[in-house]
Amino acid sequence: MTENRQGYVISGLCAVALGLVLTLGTGSPFTEKAMGVWTDCLVWLEQPATHLRGLYRTGRKWVLERRFLIDKMSKMEEENDALFLSLHLKDALDLRDTLLKSTVNAMVDLRLPLSWWEEIRINQGGMDGISPGDPVLQKGFLIGRVNRVDGSKSWITLLASTEEMIPVVVRETRDVGVVVGDGMGGIWLCYIPLDSEIKAGMNLDTALISEIIPPGIPVGTVTDDIRENEQGYREYRISSGADLSRLYDVKVFRRGDMLP
């Protein structure tokens, strides 16, 4: 133990002596050279730490800027969606006003039990300006199209019919599909990819790709009844905005009125 104490004392005395020499020798060429060498050593030793600190600051700044940009983009997407829905609603209202100006009221005068979900007959025909392919609405929602036209009568193929296929677009996601009936009162949105983000409560309108039916006519809403077919597509049951089981009076959109 005595030897250890002696070693500590000797080391301390050497450190004090070195300090005195450097202090007393300040300004001499030897001291300046020694301090310069020591400074260069310290700089070399500090370089890794300085470099790491610079990398940390750069990385932290990049993360903060990226987070800021992501938050800003998310906010812009929300504002864009809100603006889109607002413009779409305005377009839909404008379209509805146009439809109302070009529609004719009609009464359902025949609906056979064997084809209850397939077709109906109305008391308006060719003499009233109705032509095959004209959209038919109830409560502002599409229920089918004119199939056959006589002088004073017309037959309407309903959306619930297996013979009717209407291109539609999901208003919120812009997914495009086809509405098909099952012949038993059900309406299904078909040909939707499995990775689609469609959810219950979203709205369907007629799509722009249809050459017969004008775009933007409301069709119905998506329900939570979902199935998958053998082709790898998802199908959603649609709740019609109209009451397809009780059709007494309808409106027929006369496309001929829109022609120049």
| Residue 70 pLDDT | 64
**Can you give the pLDDT at residue 146?**
95
CA atoms within 13 A on the CB side of 170: 25
Whole-number pLDDT of residue 3 = 55
Q: Using CB atoms within 10 A of its CB, is residue 246 exposed (0-12), middle (13-18) or buried (19+)?
A: exposed
Q: What is the DSSP letter of 255?
A: G
pLDDT for 108 equals 94
Contact 182, 162 (CB under 8 A): yes
Which pLDDT does position 260 carry in this prediction? 47
Alpha carbons within 13 angstroms on the beta-carbon side of residue 109 total: 11
What CA–CA distance (Å, rounded) separates 108 from 122?
4
**What global pTM score does this model have?**
0.62
* pLDDT the model gives residue 208: 77
Q: Name the 3-class secondary structure at 59.
A: helix
Q: What does each of the 260 residues of the chain score in pLDDT, given as a tens digit?
A: 555 566 666 666 555 555 655 555 555 666 666 666 666 665 566 667 676 777 777 777 777 766 666 665 556 555 555 555 555 555 655 655 665 567 889 999 999 999 999 999 999 999 988 999 999 999 889 999 999 999 899 999 999 999 889 999 999 988 899 999 999 999 999 988 888 889 999 999 998 776 678 888 899 999 999 988 878 889 999 999 999 999 999 999 887 655 44
**Cα distance between residue 246 and residue 240, in whole Å:** 12
